[in-house]
Structure 1
Amino acid sequence: MATRKMTYPPEGLNVTDFVKRPSLGREGREIRVRANFFEITSLPEANIHHYDVTITPQVPPLLNRKVYQVFEKSNCNNKAVFDGRKNIFTCERLSFEDSATFDITLPEDDGSTSTRRQPRVFKVKIKKVNEINMEELQRFLDGKAQCSSNVLTAIMALDVLIRHKPSMQYVTVSRSFYTREGSRNLSGGVEAWQGYYQSARPTPGKMMINIDLCATAFYESGPLVNVVVKMLGKQHPDDLRRGINERERAKLEKELKNLKIRVTHRGEKNAKRRYRISKITPQDAQRTKFDDADGHKMDVASYFQKNYKRLTYPHLPCIVVKTDNFLPLEVCEVIEGQRHFRKLNEKQTADMIKFTCQQPNIRANKIKMGFDTLNYRHNEQMNKFNMEVLNEMATVRARVLPTPTINYHPSSKDATFIPRDGVWNLRYKKVVTGATLGSWSVLVFGSEREYSAHSVQNFVRELVTTCSDTGMNISNKNPPILHANPQGNVEESLKQAWIRAGNAAKSKPQLILCILPNTGIQLYGSIKCAGDTVIGVVTQCIQGRHMLKAGKQYCANVCLKINVKLGGTNSFLAPNQNPFLHEKPSILMGADVTHPPHGSNRPSIAALCASMDSRASRYAASIRQQASRTEIISDLADMVKDMLKTFYQTSGKKPERILFYRDGVSEGQFEQVLNEEIKAVKSACHSLDPKYSPTITFIIVQKRHHARFFPIDKKDSDRTGNCYPGTLVETDIVHPVEFDFYLQSQAGLQGTCRPTHYHVLYDENEFTPDSLQTLSYNLCYIYARCTRVVSLVPPVYYAHLVCSRARFHIRGDNFSEESSTEGDEVAFGAVKPELLKVMYFM
């Protein structure tokens, strides 16, 4: 397949507000991979007509599409495509003038949630907005024009065009559509559906369609009684004959609220009408009463026996629809295609991971099947718009970057080595700087019957030996051991452990090692909240089952965490592998924002982590709360100032250069980030000293995208079938002119690796592609808590960990999904200042 030569915009032509790609990198071994992008070989040549559509009364997109279908048959003749909300795009002018209003009647059996018997009448108001110049889109792709609003609308029109037909045929969520074919039961009345994601993407010289697999959870359809059996963890509908208890009723009410159902007791015609569950009756069908047509009190079970049939499950409650209309569970069916928005439980999550975890060759084949299902070639709308798509995945140029050399303590065997396939072990290796641990205690959450003194002491002995062998100095090898009730006062138990540690060692406690009986989030969260925000001591949690095994490999992993939590350093890159940090005093920063669960008004949490030495092995953190669901970091200037001060206190130097990696920002927010967050970084520097102006490079790091790479040659794939760590793509599927690249730095574990997308917004340090790509890749080898290369740069990884930890800093919370949806008045505890200077979050 012929490849298009990369063209760059002429010097001086301002085609982007962000950094232009300076050139292409050369480091590494050149290979070819397939990427899940399909080239659009023919774009609409004529202008596309853009219309604004308003449908009243307002209804959800699914019903909007039904209204549009009726409108289309009489007015558009397949010349138009609709986004389900506000936009219509046509390849020819519509027959009316610039605006018109139509009355559209939907028949009674439209499948809406309405219970009206009469057909519904909608007003469809259409108004011409603009004509989209497609020639300007091509000039943008060729690097000869800016990304104007016309270009963005053109890309949106192509997106709507490829989505229009699937949206009419399948269950659609944003840019993905789902089919029940090949679905998997996830237990609890929930099933996983396979989906296909598609998006029109601008790339150098051409438009492409990114197609990927996706999956999401749906409620099982069918008889509501069968779904209830699964939700309550029963084996058979007969298990419900005696009714349910109050706890089960409350669980059901929460699970079933807003679920759409149809009834089966009133014939075919009424089966098309849909209802939405509002609640569940507190009593069963025999005791739930209402006034009949004659004004007499009657219970639901008797009413159904008199008018329809005797109920099989009279001891079950009824569902309530509309205004106190009661329906027995057994006459209801759950309608297919309803998404499950609630958080999946542990088992459901594990089953979903198995369902979505596809080996690269299987994923590639399924993507090809998705392409065939989309059937662009026989898409009437795309043919009318003169749009054609190549039916083969793009073959893309890539490079495999060289593996860096990692350094441990000079006394180690193989103190300096090059890892193979992105993985290594700690055998015969010592950490670079071993922390000293003298004042500590062990807090066992469980009775001595569950965890005997012998098993706890055996584990402590193995952990102490492993930590000593790995280079830590454990001056107190017999810490006091305490037992506590997992359901008791966790904060008080930790305080007692803290006191015992201090008394035993006659010095300030450094660590409390906690043994946990289960993986429950409640106990873990309470420990972290008390340790981080109340007592100010490092905590290390251990699962009881791992403690009983006392495995050396497990102890080595725990040692890595404890060492950095106490101020030690595990490994580092030699100066020639990390010149950016060694040539001048320089600081790496990583920022992330985490948002509360769906439906909650709690604050969002912003975290900033920054390196504290020229080896980028020690980090400090800064945390802030901000308005719920706000992505831009509102207090970034103060957070940066905190980090710059800590860097100066730690190293005695002011950073002359800042390399800032920012996670979690979508493309639509790039400009806002450029205007606000980079300004905040500069403001922080000037507030410390008006003359202090370090050079700044600002990079967006994205993991939420759908680009995947598949090796073509077997010698370019690892044992999992993935590309090797260090596979980098900076041509063919990247931005037409801006400085971005995809880097798959991690080794494959299971499934298909997701590369990380790095996009440079601002660059005063004048990085070459090679210098930035190599630095970003090399850093992924010195993530402190494991002995394998990770998928994104450590400063961002650490910021993500800090955000996750901050979820547990709410006083008195139970850290469950239910608590997270309550009121927004919460008391976040602040992490103790001394902990923020060490890597307490590991």
Structure 2
Amino acid sequence: MFNITEFVKRPGLGRAGRSIKVRANYFEVTTFPSSKIYHYDIDISPEVPSALNRKVFQRAERAEISLSGIRAVYDGRRNIYSVSPFPFGDSYTSEGTMPDDMNNVGRSPRIFKIRIRKIAEIDMEEIHRFLNGRGSISPNILTGIMALNVMIHHKPSMELTKVGRNFYTSQGSRPISGGAEVWQGYFQSIRPTPMKLMINIDLHATTFYEGGSLVQMVVKILGKSSVEDLRSIQDRDRTKLEKYLKNLKVYATHRGENNSRRKLRIIKLTSTPASSTILEIGDQQIDIATYFNNTYGRSLQYPFLPCVVVQGKTYLPMEICNVVEGQRYMRKLNGGQMIDMIKFTRQPPQSRVDKINQGIQILNYRQNEYIQQFSFQVSNEMVITQARVLPAPKLQYHPSSKDSAFVPRGGLWNLMYKKVATGTTLGSWACAVFGSERDYPIGAVQKFIRELVTTCQDTGMNIPNRNPPIQHCNPQGGIENALRQIWVRAGNTAKSKPQLILCILPNPGVPLYAEIKRVCDTVIGVASQCILGKHTFSAKKQYCANICLKINVKLGGMNSFINPSQIPFITQCPTIVMGASVTHPAPGDQNTGRPSIVAVTASVDAKASRYVAAIRVQTGNREVICDLAAMVKELLRTFYITCGRKPERILFYRSGVSEGQFSIVLENEIKAIKAACKSLDERYRPTITFVVVQKRNHTRFFLTDKRDGDRTGNCPSGTVVDATVVHPFEFDFYLQSHPSSLQGTSRPAHYHVLLDENGFNADSLQTLTYNLCYNFARCTRAVSIVPPVYYAHLVCARARFHASSENWSDPDTPEGVGSASYAAVKNDLLKVMYFI
């Protein structure tokens, strides 16, 4: 008897909750090949980017290779797939020519050597057997699905701009500041689902450099209103400009249409304007502005601008250069750009449906001659599936609260007349105001603190020291010394060890915030709470209440908890809930030696409300957590010290693992968890459930009946789907736990169970996971992923600020340039939720 999966088989469908029907952005594959697909390896030398590989193959296919009408599909690297064997037999070698750099003019054609050899015949009937439960997953099936994915990507790869699995079109693009623009893109992927293959199609957007005039781009980069404002470019602006433009591809327009096909990469800028940048021609010296006038009869309009230096050390005036369209913008977006990007990407549900359907027309499966040859057909209608809306759990606050136990509606509630379940005492604290007394008068700060203290006390905290010392600090430098001084003042005033430094910030910028967190978390070892200065002038009750929630848990308190009867798995016997996350260096930052940061959080009480964290750094872009055994051991010890008992069960939620990494993560990380238990006691073997949480997925659900949703048209909080668009046999489900925002389409989280020694059924795990989403400490709403994973994300984000050599103050420096060393969080803080 074969094993249908190496992971957990689905224990049946869930039944809890109210049934509704939803559309999913999946399209049924109605026909796909049942015979063989032929797999060939292709080697093109010299090595070039995949876009040029495609052109080389396409040219060779038409000129040198005779495929007798066979339309093969190519992934741009090493793989070619065909529905028929190639006429030349099992191998073929030829040479083909291609003008350099995608049809550059003025250079001799490059010769490419092409070797093709047959490596496999893929039995597609095996996929049919797998989908119907008559066979387990195999390399042949994975290769077959990969071949079909290459097939649907082949033609769009030649006609649209491709990045990863996404295709982008400039049609309907929107400019954002800084010479960039947002393009609409489409994601497509073939996925196995119960009894069928489906194509998952979703929207995706990314930023590109604006095509067109280089001069106009420079105006936008430097934030000027016109070219005339560039008559005297300062050194700082020139340095910024050179960083921005380096490696950008342009084409020159001064020689007419033919020359515009040649793409040139910018190496640097001249330090002098075109009118005084001197060329040596023979024994003569001539400035570039005069040279262009004499040679091309072209009087420069902007001789005061520097020139760009392109490969071959050619000097070109900016005004004769146009930016090549379709170049990916890889820089970190600034605040204004992010706002513009969000406005572009936030599509309400119906608008998203319409744009996905437009994508079906753009991808045009029905008129695609490659797809036709593979006998492949796709429905044009989104699939409809059964969904359920799970009931919200009962939440509990302090018994003295009005409505101390209640069931939230729509995933939301408020703190009115409520007191936190366990309020802490704040006796030793101080306030650091990063700004002058003129900007933040002492009276205004004191008034805000009085309102904050009153709100905290009304909410159940005890604050005997209502007038903490206040110190104005310079936000531009000396942050560490200032915080040390205010810490000493807090201790001296209260005659006890300081518990909190309240920091008032002049702006939401990263540099000051990062330095405050680095110093407080790793140098001093005290909790910190940052507040934007603008809030001190109008101390709103709701804002102060939100701050209170954060302060209370940072000091070891508990804000609320779920009724124990509704999380029986956790309350019936000692159970630890863990969440793990790995964050990698930013895309433009991966060759700098920057490490990845790992965080594991764990509950340390019987209500799964209070969490502690363990943090490590490891080699950049390694997905498996290297030191997991030591981290789990550390957290198990903390649980034992806090609760007085060893956990008998471990529920481990793991974030950010792709399907291709399931096996390796399961093998290594389960082994590490078990090793941690064994190292504490040879006989200690708690039962483990290991669940992967994928937040960044491309699945979206849309109501078939608007009456089932909320006023935004989104699916309600608690919507769960475990049929039709899930894995054919494995235990996975989609859960949209959070209430929808006013704009955009809600995204469900995807939960996939890799190991289950605790015998969950569908309802018990789905309900527990959803109920836990109401236990997030710093807000009064259900959150989009389970809190232990959410907390692990927060810990990783905070750890980035603990690096010693970051250059947070330069917006043009990608995060993490250089080799940063990370300081450890002080032990006292690791016992509380300092990261909230």
Q: TM-score, normalised by structure 1?
A: 0.97
1:819-830 equivalent positions in 2, closer than 5 A: 824-830=818-824
How far apart in 2 are the matches of 1:146 and 1:841?
A: 44
Q: Which residue of 2 aligns with 1:3?
A: none
Amino acid of the structure 1 residue aligned with 2:308: I
Q: Which residue of 2 aligns with 1:4?
A: none
Q: Which residue of 1 aligns with 2:522?
A: 533
1:825-840 equivalent positions in 2, closer than 5 A: 825-840=819-834
1:537-556 equivalent positions in 2, closer than 5 A: 537-556=526-545
Q: Which residue of 1 aligns with 2:645?
A: 653
1:784 to 772, 777, 780: 777
2:55 is aligned with 1:45: no
Amino acid of the structure 2 residue aligned with 1:492: N
Relative to structure 1, is the Cα distance of residues 134 and 812 closer, same or farther in structure 2, using a 3 angstrom cutoff? closer
1:600-619 equivalent positions in 2, closer than 5 A: 600-619=592-611
Is residue 240–residue 812 contact of structure 2 (8 Å, CA) maintained in 1?
no
1:634-673 equivalent positions in 2, closer than 5 A: 634-673=626-665
Unaligned runs of 5+ in 2: none
2:230 is aligned with 1:236: no
1:193 to 160, 168, 183: 183
Alpha-carbon shift at residue 130 of structure 1 (Å): 0.3
Alpha-carbon shift at residue 310 of structure 1 (Å): 1.6
Relative to structure 1, is the Cα distance of residues 189 and 627 closer, same or farther in structure 2, using a 3 angstrom cutoff? same
Is residue 591–residue 607 contact of structure 1 (8 Å, CA) maintained in 2?
yes
Amino acid of the structure 1 residue aligned with 2:831: K
Relative to structure 1, is the Cα distance of residues 236 and 330 closer, same or farther in structure 2, using a 3 angstrom cutoff? same
SS at match of 2:275: coil
Is residue 115–residue 275 contact of structure 1 (8 Å, CA) maintained in 2?
no
Q: Which residue of 2 aligns with 1:8?
A: none
How far apart in 2 are the matches of 1:268 and 1:362?
A: 40
Unaligned runs of 5+ in 1: 1-11
Is residue 43–residue 388 contact of structure 1 (8 Å, CA) maintained in 2?
yes
Is residue 34–residue 128 contact of structure 2 (8 Å, CA) maintained in 1?
no
Q: Which residue of 1 aligns with 2:618?
A: 626
SS at match of 1:378: coil
Amino acid of the structure 1 residue aligned with 2:631: M
Amino acid of the structure 2 residue aligned with 1:45: S
Q: Which residue of 2 aligns with 1:303?
A: 291
2:796 is aligned with 1:808: no
Alpha-carbon shift at residue 78 of structure 1 (Å): 4.9
SS at match of 1:197: strand
Is residue 602–residue 820 contact of structure 1 (8 Å, CA) maintained in 2?
no
Relative to structure 1, is the Cα distance of residues 578 and 821 closer, same or farther in structure 2, using a 3 angstrom cutoff? closer
In the TM superposition, what whole-angstrom CA distance separates every residue of 1:175-221 from its partner, at most 9, and x where no partner exists?
11111111111111100001111111111111000000110001011
* Cα RMSD, aligned residues only: 1.3
How far apart in 1 are the matches of 2:189 and 2:50?
A: 19
In the TM superposition, what whole-angstrom CA distance separates every residue of 1:462-498 from its partner, at most 9, and x where no partner exists?
1001000000011111111111000121111111111
How far apart in 2 are the matches of 1:13 and 1:747?
A: 42
How far apart in 2 are the matches of 1:823 and 1:197?
A: 31
1:223 to 208, 213, 230: 213
Relative to structure 1, is the Cα distance of residues 368 and 629 closer, same or farther in structure 2, using a 3 angstrom cutoff? same
2:22 is aligned with 1:33: yes
Alpha-carbon shift at residue 817 of structure 1 (Å): 6.1
Alpha-carbon shift at residue 820 of structure 1 (Å): 5.2
Is residue 444–residue 483 contact of structure 1 (8 Å, CA) maintained in 2?
yes
1:547-626 equivalent positions in 2, closer than 5 A: 547-597=536-586, 598-599=588-589, 600-626=592-618
Matched-pair identity in %: 59
Alpha-carbon shift at residue 115 of structure 1 (Å): 6.5
Q: Which residue of 2 aligns with 1:675?
A: 667
Q: Which residue of 2 aligns with 1:132?
A: 122
How far apart in 2 are the matches of 1:395 and 1:821?
A: 43
Q: Which residue of 1 aligns with 2:763?
A: 770
2:710 to 706, 718, 737: 718
How far apart in 1 are the matches of 2:535 and 2:136?
A: 57
Alpha-carbon shift at residue 603 of structure 1 (Å): 1.2
Amino acid of the structure 2 residue aligned with 1:651: C
SS at match of 2:483: helix
Is residue 78–residue 380 contact of structure 1 (8 Å, CA) maintained in 2?
no
How far apart in 2 are the matches of 1:300 and 1:233?
A: 27
In the TM superposition, what whole-angstrom CA distance separates every residue of 1:80-99 from its partner, at most 9, and x where no partner exists?
11111111110111111111
2:427 is aligned with 1:438: yes
Q: Is the deviation greater in 774-783 or in 75-84?
A: 75-84
2:748 is aligned with 1:755: yes
Is residue 807–residue 817 contact of structure 2 (8 Å, CA) maintained in 1?
no
In the TM superposition, what whole-angstrom CA distance separates every residue of 1:97-152 from its partner, at most 9, and x where no partner exists?
111012222257x745x575222321221111101110111112122222211111
1:124-273 equivalent positions in 2, closer than 5 A: 124-240=114-230, 242-273=231-262
How far apart in 2 are the matches of 1:384 and 1:826?
A: 53
How far apart in 2 are the matches of 1:680 and 1:783?
A: 27
SS at match of 2:331: coil
Relative to structure 1, is the Cα distance of residues 546 and 59 closer, same or farther in structure 2, using a 3 angstrom cutoff? same
SS at match of 2:516: helix
Is residue 510–residue 537 contact of structure 1 (8 Å, CA) maintained in 2?
yes
SS at match of 1:376: coil
SS at match of 2:409: coil
In the TM superposition, what whole-angstrom CA distance separates every residue of 1:280-326 from its partner, at most 9, and x where no partner exists?
1122212322321x243332222112111121111111111113211
How far apart in 2 are the matches of 1:371 and 1:778?
A: 37
Number of residues paired by the alignment? 827
1:351 to 340, 359, 363: 340
SS at match of 1:280: strand
Alpha-carbon shift at residue 602 of structure 1 (Å): 1.1
How far apart in 2 are the matches of 1:695 and 1:45?
A: 43
Relative to structure 1, is the Cα distance of residues 125 and 243 closer, same or farther in structure 2, using a 3 angstrom cutoff? farther
Is residue 79–residue 92 contact of structure 1 (8 Å, CA) maintained in 2?
no
SS at match of 2:347: coil
In the TM superposition, what whole-angstrom CA distance separates every residue of 1:522-561 from its partner, at most 9, and x where no partner exists?
0000000000000000000000011211110000000000
Is residue 307–residue 317 contact of structure 2 (8 Å, CA) maintained in 1?
yes
SS at match of 1:210: strand
Q: TM-score, normalised by structure 2?
A: 0.97
Is residue 61–residue 85 contact of structure 1 (8 Å, CA) maintained in 2?
yes
Q: Which residue of 2 aligns with 1:14?
A: 3
Is residue 596–residue 820 contact of structure 1 (8 Å, CA) maintained in 2?
no
